[in-house]
Amino acid sequence: RTSMRLIEEMAYDLDFTNTKVIVTERVAILENITAIVMISEKALTVQSGKKYTTVVGEDFVIKEISEGRLIIEGKIQRVEFL
């Protein structure tokens, strides 16, 4: 039974078709992204496969952009999955 949870967790960690998001009040880390779709002063939308993730807030600063990974800082108000 424990091994089933481990297998499910590994499958989730290795699933590159969904955006993984780690969010605090001031930082958002988005992984497994394929494209930045939209950037404005109050929102940032990224694509991962056929799905989109939007981070809404204020005063965004992009701290890191690398292949499949984006780190932004600012006042984060919410995250939307479309």
Full-prediction pTM beyond 0.75?
A: yes
pLDDT score, position 4: 62
- 71 band by pLDDT with thresholds 50, 70 and 90: very high
- Which stretches within the chain are classed as H helix? 2-13
pLDDT score, position 79: 96
User: pLDDT tens, 22-68?
Assistant: 999 999 999 999 999 999 989 999 999 889 999 999 999 999 999 99
